[in-house]
Chains A and B, each alone.
Chain A
Amino acid sequence: SQTIHQWPATLVQPVGSPLSLECTVEGTSNPNLYWYRQAAGRGLQLLFYSVGIGQISSEVPQNLSASRPQDRQFILSSKKLLLSDSGFYLCAWLGGNDYGYTFGSGTRLTVV
């Protein structure tokens, strides 16, 4: 079966520290992968998406970057976190026999 994993579930990081969030998909190959952010009390904003290894499209200029080192792995990074980077980060993949976007369980990031 196809599953998506995100970790960690929660993270508290000081301002200026680096960040690495990981997302992996199982049971499929060459999926489209996405990173979304949900700030407190707000909707979901697409940050990055990838249609293949090494292919990253950025939707919003920001303090974050993304990488796709392997077919089913998508990483969200920052060299120096800002307070405004706090939020709920969701990874998603597109694919499967029943076309649709499937979301991971999310990472709650608090920058202090």
Chain B
Amino acid sequence: AQSVTQPDIHITVSEGASLELRCNYSYGATPYLFWYVQSPGQGLQLLLKYFSGDTLVQGIKGFEAEFKRSQSSFNLRKPSVHWSDAAEYFCAVDEAAGNKLTFGGGTRVLVKP
């Protein structure tokens, strides 16, 4: 079955440390890929997206993600986290360019002072 997997339910990092959130998908072709962030009780904010081209994508708030076709992965990274990065992060896939968005289960990030 087609799916989006975020293996880590929770991640705790120290402020200033690097962060990497994993995302794997199972689709036949290369879908459109997205990362969203959700602060408690809020809607979703788009961090970045990948459609084609350069496999390293820069987003807002200092985030970047790398698409690896061979691994069917689209991992999100940030070199140095800030306390304000504490939130839940969702990887999402649009299989057919405008059909619908399928989400992973999310990763909750806690930032230690």
Binding site for B on A (CB under 8 A): 32, 34, 36, 42-46, 49, 59, 90, 92, 94, 99-106, 108
Contacts and interface: CB of A to CB of B under 8 A. Distances in A.
Contacts of B71: none
A103 B16 CA distance: 29
A42 B38 CA distance: 13
Contacts, number: 49
23 contacts: A32-B98, A34-B101, A42-B105, A43-B103, A43-B105, A44-B103, A44-B106, A45-B103, A46-B102, A59-B100, A90-B44, A92-B101, A94-B98, A99-B32, A99-B98, A100-B34, A101-B94, A103-B43, A103-B44, A103-B45, A105-B43, A106-B41, A106-B42
A101 to B, nearest CB: 5
Contacts of A49: 100
Size category of the B interface is 20 to 34
Majority-rule SS of B interface residues: strand
B11 interface: no
Given A43-B106, A105-B42, A108-B41, A100 B49 contact: yes
Nearest to A105: B43
Nearest to B91: A43
Interface in B24-67: 32, 34, 36, 41-46, 49, 51
